[in-house]
Amino acid sequence: MNFDFARLSCHPVGKYGKMGKKEVDMMKYGFNQICINPQGSMLPTGFFTQIKPVSQVRGDLYARILHIEDDNKNLIMITLDSLGVSSAVYRKIETLVKKLTDSSCELTVSCSHTHFAPSLSLAMGLFFPNEEYTEFVLDRLSNCLRNLKLNEAVISVDYNRENFIGVGRSRLSTGNDDNVEAGVLSFYNNSHRIGNFLYYNCHPTVSPEDAAYFSSDYVGLCIEQLHQRYPNEFFMFMQGAAGDISTRFTRQTKSYEEVIRLGRSMAAEFNQLLEKNVPKFPLEHFTVSSTPIILHHSVKEVNVPLNQTISEKEKRELTTAAALSEQMRKNIGYFEKVAVMTRVDFGPYHLMFNPFELFSSYLNYTHRDNTLVIGYSQGYIGYVSKLENNEITYETLMETVSEIDKKSIVSFLTSTL
């Protein structure tokens, strides 16, 4: 998949275009991507059972960059095949971006949340960035940005989404699948589609926990399938509110063969969405705003009643959470004190970037047809269960934020209503 969308031709229509008699503003955009496979043997981060460094790759890891400009704003959007990027690594990326583009350039950095990549994050007091890999990724991003070319175009956008449980379902005994959402936000130069944001909320954890390889999991396989079908369009994957959604009840095995099967299923779903005709809206300008949230962390005291109403898998996870909570308590000084929430508006569509593993129920606070809640972005912090949660699960025991923090998140999400 070594291709360069930065050379994609746009055929701009000029100041007066096919979108009507009204004067239409031109925008600039460019896309590029670069492989970020580790150059040597390193430890994947995602499961605490991963204790051996690996060097093989099955499903390349990528950094993808979209640069978009209107008359007075620059925005760089980066997606990485990684578990998450801590705020310290985010700031390094921000420094690099501003140096190579413009000091006023806005930035979003999102991760697919694959559990089979080296660490770029400090989170929950349980794992820390791999410094060698961090510097390597920064160097790759620098090369990718330097070789990104901007095109001028009259851009319009559309968005189509639906409930899709062919890859992800709630992994909680008390959960449901109502909030498992697949969506595609597409960009056009007049009627010619030039690229797409692929949106889904499901953990990329199809491979076995002790897999002896790095992998972008179902996400990378899905993008590879779509690029083969649409070679002149760019694709970026945005991971949604996936805190309680996984492939636990859709995967038949934990293997790379199953990554291929579910990746193809995901690509088929996105392809159906791409083929539907939905209204397009002119994109003459975009807006970016950020909201900081002060966090109030605490580590839970774990005394878990292992009753018979939960699965054996959940019982094992609760036992693991009890052991990990002690390490978290010792390292609470490493926890992020501020979460940065970033909102990007493309015409009528709102992209709500947050650093959490939000439970999918948070989608209930948004208008589904025009809002994408994108997690694992602008930093990485950890699980956030539903408001006033009383359920005991691995995720809720690992959660450290307060009810005050959750209400601040809801306030951010409802700002689009």
Task: Kindly write down the DSSP assignment for every residue of 212-279, as one continuous string.
Answer: SSB--HHHHHHHHHHHHH-TTSEEEEEE-S-TTEESTTT-SSSSHHHHHHHHHHHHHHHHHHHHS---
Sheet containing 192-200: which strands, arranged edge to edge?
234-239, 192-200, 181-189, 155-163, 281-283
Tell me: pLDDT of 321 over 90.
Answer: no
Nearest to 355 by CA among 197, 168, 121: 121
Q: Would you say 236 and 66 are in contact if contact means Cβ atoms under 8 Å apart?
A: yes
The pLDDT value recorded for residue 304 is 59
Tell me: pLDDT of 18 over 50.
Answer: no
Tell me: pLDDT of 23 over 60.
Answer: no
Q: What confidence tens digit (pLDDT) does each residue in 358-370 have?
A: 999 999 999 999 9
Q: What confidence tens digit (pLDDT) does each residue in 151-176 have?
A: 999 999 999 999 999 999 999 888 89
Q: What confidence tens digit (pLDDT) does each residue in 380-400 have?
A: 999 999 999 988 888 888 899
The pLDDT value recorded for residue 213 is 97
Range with lowest mean pLDDT among 135-149, 296-310, 352-366, 367-381: 296-310
Is pTM, for the whole model, over 0.85? yes
Q: What confidence tens digit (pLDDT) does each residue in 30-67 have?
A: 999 999 999 999 999 998 889 999 999 999 999 999 99
CA distance 395 to 174: 13
The pLDDT value recorded for residue 289 is 97
Per the prediction, the chain carries an average pLDDT of 91
CA distance 345 to 340: 16
Q: What confidence tens digit (pLDDT) does each residue in 81-126 have?
A: 999 999 999 999 999 999 999 899 999 999 999 999 999 998 778 8
The pLDDT value recorded for residue 378 is 97
The pLDDT value recorded for residue 306 is 58
The pLDDT value recorded for residue 97 is 97
Q: What confidence tens digit (pLDDT) does each residue in 178-232 have?
A: 999 999 999 999 889 999 999 999 999 999 999 999 999 999 999 999 999 999 9
The pLDDT value recorded for residue 122 is 85
Structure tokens at 56: 């093989």
Region 3-29 average pLDDT: 49
Q: What confidence tens digit (pLDDT) does each residue in 332-357 have?
A: 888 999 999 999 999 999 999 999 99
**Bigger pLDDT: 238 or 303?**
238
Domain ranges of the chain: 1-417
Q: Would you say 163 and 181 are in contact if contact means Cβ atoms under 8 Å apart?
A: yes
